[in-house]
Amino acid sequence: MCGICGFVKNEASAPLDGALLKRMNDLIAHRGPDDEGQYMDARAALAMRRLSIIDLSTGHQPISNEDGSVWVTLNGEIYNFLELRPQLEAKGHRFKTKTDTEVIVHLYEEMGDDCVKKLRGMFAFALWDKKKEKLLLARDRIGKKPLIYTEQPDGLAWASELRCLLEYPGVRKEIDPVAVDLYLSLQYIPAPRTIFKGIRKLPPAHILVMEKGRARISRYWNLPLNGQGAAPPPSLEAAKEAIREKLKESVRIRMIADVPLGAFLSGGIDSSVVVALMSEISPLPVKTFSIGFAESEFSELHYARELARRYGCDHREFIVESRMTDVLPKIAWHYSEPYADASALPSYYVAKETRRHVTVALNGDGGDENFAGYLRYMAMNAALAWDKMPLALRKLIMSGASFLPEKNAPVSFAWRLKRFLKSVAFSDYPDRHLRMTGYFSEDDKDIVYSEEMRRRLAQDRGQALAFLSEAYGQCAGEDFINRLLYVDFVTYLPECLMVKMDIASMANSLETRSPLLDHEFVELVYGLPGRWKLRGINQMKWIFKQAFKDYLPKKIYGRGKMGFGIPLSPWFRGELKGYLKEHLFSPEASTRGYFTRPGLERLIDEHERGARDHGYRLWALLMLELWHQVYKIR
């Protein structure tokens, strides 16, 4: 696991700026505190910071081929490198290390740009072909590892984290107002945009090739749409067996490490299954780490303890409290751009505590997207039944629900019901999806936006809906449930969840691995009928639970979805009330031109009185302002 950065000039002219490369590399030292390296020639400069996981003695990067004509830096892990290496050696390639990174160099020599298709793992890499004067940037299929870049008149620069690119000459800190608008809707800024106009993210499953001063971007992988993948298992029982075997293999190859290893254990189905399989494989007790809250409705610690006891894990727990928000400016710095998923806070702390004991931690990320584990899948499915109800009955329900209090997001039934009813007022899937998952609706934005912000956006409002609509359009031929899963696989999962896990872990020099996001496992599961994932109206993750029923305690097997939320509503009525106002109404905030003070005061007042629950919206506003302050953006 590493951080990478570098730049390539369009023409060889003055010597490349080694001091610039070092400044960029130093900004990601937390991603790789064990080692650093760089390569420079007349046109290319590559650098890396290394967190040593495999081949601790000879894995120094950048790594080249035999004659030094091809160089590579890798952020991530290639899990099938032990399989690929003998194949390449049989073709005459000579290896000088035992690291997975070196496989990329020789695979590129054999396959060119298509080398990425052979890699199984999480990765972002930069490869420089000196003879061809060609740059290849690549990002893994699911989007576990980030890669950000900027094109400037003199060339192209890239990095694992956005802040590195602010060092590159010519890059301006010019805010993209559409990115701010997307952030308020979605809680994140989706690729290829970033918060700055001149900086872009390489999307998952894409490569960027730069030759002769021109960059081209192409996609190399997608989920197996319309039955294009391998034939699915012939029966339900065969499918359950295939799920068990493929996931066990995925866990096993992610336990390869030359450093201490453990697992996050939330108490949910996904992480519990991963820990159960690790316990089957490991001869020693698995080290597990859990995080919770004093507010019982947000804490899953008792479930995690139950699973840890069953498998004899070496288990540790940690409690997050509102006073711990003093770390928020630090979190804002690490994310490099506004990010509003509130679970970034507990994710940071669980990674910090885990790193005290291990260097690598497996997790349960991807279970919900594979097996329909979010409540919104159930709600979107229920919306189909809603459409068939008599109009008079729908009006009656709408009328009665209008009196329900909008409190205790996201755990209360009343809050969820009102959110559902607001979504079913729209007929299109993307509209409903956005209403069920979005933070600020367009009406909410109208409350807080200034006239200046409206002018800056001009005709560009509604980009969040366009983003989701494009994803729905890509999978039009899929069954209903798999269509919902596809949309999350290409939007929410890479743009929000993978960003959160990468930043939270790497901020603490911890590598995290996700067996449920192995692309071979994902392809297998996506090819199964949606009705096996969401069975009936409310049996979420049905086939997953059936496949691993014997691995789990009954109280975990039978529980519903909880999510990794934090108690924002009471915090903003209590300990964080003053902290919020101090930042939103600071002199600096008033000069940004995004919002009106009366609009912000209205949200805060409604929240404090309990008229509406704006906890997640207030968090988004707070993190936006903190980011501006940390990065000194006017």
Highest mean pLDDT among 345-354, 394-403, 498-507 belongs to 498-507
Q: Which of 178, 198, 219 is the last residue of a domain?
A: 219
What is the four-CA torsion angle of 6, 63, 505, 198, rounded to 10 degrees?
Answer: 20
Amino acid symbol at 86? P
Same domain membership, residue 235 and residue 210: no
**Residue 425 located in a structural domain:** no
The predicted-structure confidence for 101-123, as pLDDT tens digits, reads as follows 999 999 999 999 999 999 999 99
Q: Which residue has the higher pLDDT, 419 or 114?
A: 114
What pLDDT does residue 259 have?
82
Q: Which of 198, 219, 240 is the last residue of a domain?
A: 219
Tally the domains of the chain: 2
Q: Which residue has the higher pLDDT, 407 or 335?
A: 335
- Confidence band of 5 (pLDDT split at 50, 70, 90): very high
- Confidence band of 147 (pLDDT split at 50, 70, 90): very high
What pLDDT does residue 536 have?
87
Report yes or no: 75 and 122 within 8 Å, Cβ to Cβ: no
- Confidence band of 51 (pLDDT split at 50, 70, 90): confident
d(CA 125, CA 305): 39
- Confidence band of 565 (pLDDT split at 50, 70, 90): low
The predicted-structure confidence for 232-286, as pLDDT tens digits, reads as follows 899 999 999 999 999 999 999 999 887 889 999 988 899 999 999 999 999 999 9
The predicted-structure confidence for 199-210, as pLDDT tens digits, reads as follows 999 999 999 999
Average pLDDT of the residues of the chain: 92
Q: How far is CA 63 from CA 105, 208, 236, in A?
A: 8, 20, 46
Highest mean pLDDT among 263-267, 500-504, 571-575 belongs to 500-504
Residue 458 pLDDT exceeds 90:
no
CATH number, domain with residue 35: 3.60.20.10
**Residue 17 located in a structural domain:** yes
Same domain membership, residue 99 and residue 72: yes
The secondary structure element, H or E, covering residue 314 is: strand 314-320
Same domain membership, residue 176 and residue 119: yes
| Full DSSP string of 78-90 | ETTHHHHHHHHHH
Q: Which of 557, 576, 603 is the last residue of a domain?
A: 557
**Residue 483 located in a structural domain:** no
What pLDDT does residue 404 have?
73
CATH number, domain with residue 335: 3.40.50.620
Same domain membership, residue 72 and residue 136: yes
- Confidence band of 424 (pLDDT split at 50, 70, 90): confident
Same domain membership, residue 241 and residue 203: no
What pLDDT does residue 562 have?
55
Domain that holds residue 88: 2-219
Mean pLDDT score, 484-488: 98
Mean pLDDT score, 363-392: 93
Same domain membership, residue 271 and residue 195: no
What pLDDT does residue 298 have?
59
Q: Which residue has the higher pLDDT, 283 or 411?
A: 283
Nearest C-alpha neighbor of 291 from the set 344, 217, 248, 243: 344
- Confidence band of 559 (pLDDT split at 50, 70, 90): low
Least confident range of 21-35, 146-160, 401-415, 534-548: 401-415
Amino acid symbol at 320? V
**Residue 146 located in a structural domain:** yes
Same domain membership, residue 140 and residue 195: yes
Strands 155-159 and 287-293 come out as unpaired
Mean pLDDT score, 194-198: 97
Q: Which residue has the higher pLDDT, 321 or 561?
A: 321
- Confidence band of 406 (pLDDT split at 50, 70, 90): confident
Q: Which residue has the higher pLDDT, 318 or 46?
A: 46
Q: Which of 2, 164, 313, 496 is catalytic?
A: 2
Find tokens 């983003």 and name the residue. Answer: 467
For the question of residue 2 being annotated catalytic, the response is yes
**Residue 632 located in a structural domain:** no
Same domain membership, residue 344 and residue 238: yes
**Residue 601 located in a structural domain:** no
The two three-digit tokens of residue 185, written as one number: 């809707």
Report yes or no: 500 and 341 within 8 Å, Cβ to Cβ: yes
What pLDDT does residue 227 have?
80
Mean pLDDT score, 134-144: 98
What pLDDT does residue 573 have?
92
Contacts of 185 by beta carbon, 8 Å cutoff, 6+ apart: 434, 438, 439, 440, 441, 464
Mean pLDDT score, 549-558: 84
Nearest C-alpha neighbor of 262 from the set 552, 511, 557: 511
Same domain membership, residue 104 and residue 11: yes
Nearest C-alpha neighbor of 279 from the set 313, 240, 245, 255: 313
Mean pLDDT score, 62-88: 96
The predicted-structure confidence for 309-346, as pLDDT tens digits, reads as follows 999 999 999 887 767 778 999 999 999 999 999 999 98
Q: Which residue has the higher pLDDT, 410 or 182?
A: 182
Residue 2 pLDDT exceeds 60:
yes
Same domain membership, residue 270 and residue 205: no
